Amino acid sequence: MQEETFADFKHQSLTDSLTGLKNRRYSELIFIDLIESNQLFSLIMIDIDHFKLVNDEFGHTAGDEVLKFLANKMKSITKDNDVCIRLGGEEFIILLPNCILPDAYKIAEKLRKDIEISIPPINKKITISSGVAEYRDGSESINDLMNRVDEALYMAKSEGRNKTVIFS
């Protein structure tokens, strides 16, 4: 009984309660594992375009439904060993172990196109922008990787949104 309670608390502490995805705390732990095992991985950072307008026009409850909608789309296009994470707000990442950059880009584009043609719970189309980067085997910190993928995401937004950009 006590072990089940501990396991439940641990699960809750590593899971985003709204979307059911892993959370930022979990991402920090998995990054450490991947780096220590010197494993190749890629990262997709995702942001819902103009999300503030969704909340302003439809309310925060509808905004929450849009976040859950995106989380489900992310889970539907990823494999079992991929990790979908809600960083906070409308920012998400997909961590792709053993995935090279061109394949990560294809996954990001598949998600972007799926979102673009889908009808979310607010009955008004939404789009996402994504940045993609590959971990540079041991020569950079997680902060460096996060900065690179964040810069790619910023480029996607500054180039008109509804776009995927690879950090080069």
pLDDT of residue 1: 67
pLDDT at 2 over 90: no
* Long-range Cβ contact pairs of 12-15 (< 8 A, separation 24 or more): none
Active site residues: 90
pLDDT of residue 8: 73
Query: What's the rounded Cα separation, in Å, for the pair 84 and 68?
Result: 12
Q: What is the mean pLDDT of residues 34-45?
A: 92
Kindly state the percentage of the chain with pLDDT values over 70. 96
Please write the tens of the pLDDT for every residue from 139-152: 788 999 999 999 99
CA 114-16-155 angle, 5° bins: 50
How many angstroms separate the Cα of 81 from the Cα of each of 37, 39, 46, 157? 15, 13, 19, 29
pLDDT of residue 143: 92
pLDDT at 9 over 90: no
pLDDT at 6 over 70: no
pLDDT-based confidence at residue 12 (cuts at 50, 70, 90): confident
Please write the tens of the pLDDT for every residue from 87-142: 999 999 999 999 999 999 999 999 999 999 999 999 999 999 999 999 977 778 89
Token pair listed for 163: 């776009």
Q: What is the mean pLDDT of residues 40-50?
A: 97
Domains of the chain: 2-166 (3.30.70.270)
Biggest CA–CA distance in the chain, Å, is: 54
